[in-house]
Amino acid sequence: MVQIGYTMMAEQAGPRELVDHVVAAERAGFDFSVTSDHYFPWLAEQGHAPYAWSVLGAAAQATSRIPLMTYVTCPTVRYHPAVVAQKAATVQLLAEGRFRLGLGSGENLNEHVVGGGWPAAHVRLEMLEEAVEIIRALFAGGDVSHHGTHYDVENARLWDLPDPLPPIGIAVSGERSCELAGRLGDLVIATEPKGELLDAFDRHGGGGKPRIGQLPVCFDTDRDAAVERAHEQFRWFGGGWKVNAELPGPAAFAGATRFVRPEDVAESIPCGSDVGAFVEAVRPYADAGFTEIALVQVGGEHQRPFIDWAEKELLPALREL
């Protein structure tokens, strides 16, 4: 059975609200949760970007069952991988084994803030590979020193190590990232229902490992209002990661999507309250072989109505998948 998750999308709600939302999602019966890790929202209309790791610590204490996960953290520019390893170990202890560390090569949108420039795509993947190796070494315990192509680590050690260690997921978008995920990851992460990504992941050692997808949805009893909100806040989504990873800020995303129409957004994001339309939007992920699918409800102020509706109508229908 495909597991259905809830997304704490930090770009569209404040920290206390995000924790309240995931508590409600746990009560409603969602199978797992994920959270984004941003310094900026995609568009100014979304209006938020709290520190994800503080939110995760609070969520770990406020919940008792629902798994938590970063979807995803970039461990290469804004954060040093040695610090990511410490953060992940601590959240895993707070969550009592319910945390998974999702990693990816990041977006200029968030990573530019430290002034280190934005590397080319192939360099970002090199950095991600080295970062994962450092995190794995620290998870193994003991003192770690590392002098590599992109990072230095000097006599580091994690003094509070959880058991079990957080599984590491790696986000993919092409053959090279799939090779990295299959070789170094415990699970794979993708935002499009492309079976070829999972096939490549399997070829490189990912066979039998979990595979997690994500889908934006926009519930509202007024479908026109849902379409308008999805367009206002999520029209960036259709740009694809080759574009989305490069743009430097919300103004750039606003400019790049100025000709996107509401009906264009509604073609890729189910809007309204028709359960069947939501199920059909999830189905391609299940058919492609994803074992877990995290839903993103568009609109920070519209989470509780969505969660209540999901508990009563959507989740029972999706269990049939």
| pLDDT tens by residue, 48-93 | 999 999 999 999 999 999 999 999 999 999 999 999 999 999 999 9
pLDDT at 240: 77
What does pTM read for this prediction? 0.97
For the segment 141-158, the average pLDDT, to the nearest whole number, is 98
Q: Which residue has the tokens 């924790």?
A: 19
Write the DSSP assignment of 108-126 as a string of letters.
Answer: HHHHGGGSS----HHHHHH
CB 37 within 8 A of CB 18: no
User: How many angstroms separate the CA atoms of 188 and 200, rounded?
Assistant: 11
Task: State the average pLDDT over residues 267-272.
Answer: 97
Task: Give yes or no for residue 236 having a pLDDT over 90.
Answer: yes
Q: How many Å apart are CA 274 and CA 6, to the nearest integer?
A: 19
Query: pLDDT of 16-57, one tens digit each?
Result: 999 999 999 999 999 999 999 999 999 999 999 999 999 999
The answer on pLDDT for 1 being more than 90 is no
Average pLDDT over residues 269-284: 98
Please give the angle made by the CA atoms of 202, 198 and 9, to the nearest 5 degrees: 130
> 321 pLDDT exceeds 90?
no
What's the rounded mean pLDDT across residues 221-243? 92
β-pair partners for 170: 103, 188
Q: Cα separation of 157 and 290, whole Å?
A: 35
Q: Label the pairing between strands 32-35 and 68-69.
A: unpaired
Q: What does pLDDT average to over the chain?
A: 97
Instruction: Note whether 114 and 77 are within 8 A (CB).
Output: yes
What does the pLDDT read at residue 239? 76
229 φ/ψ sector (left φ>0, alpha ψ -120 to 50, else beta): alpha
- pLDDT value for 238: 81
* Region class of 117: left (phi > 0), else alpha (psi between -120 and 50), else beta: left
Please name the residue that has the structure tokens 């509780």. 304
Tell me: the pLDDT tens digits for 84-136?
999 999 999 999 999 999 999 999 999 999 999 999 999 999 999 999 999 99
Structure-token pair, residue 265? 């957004």
**What is the Cα–Cα distance from 69 to 52, expressed in whole angstroms?**
10
- The residue whose two tokens read 């002098």 is 147
Catalytic residues: 38, 107
Average pLDDT estimate for 267-284: 98
Q: Tokens 């090779």 — which residue?
A: 179
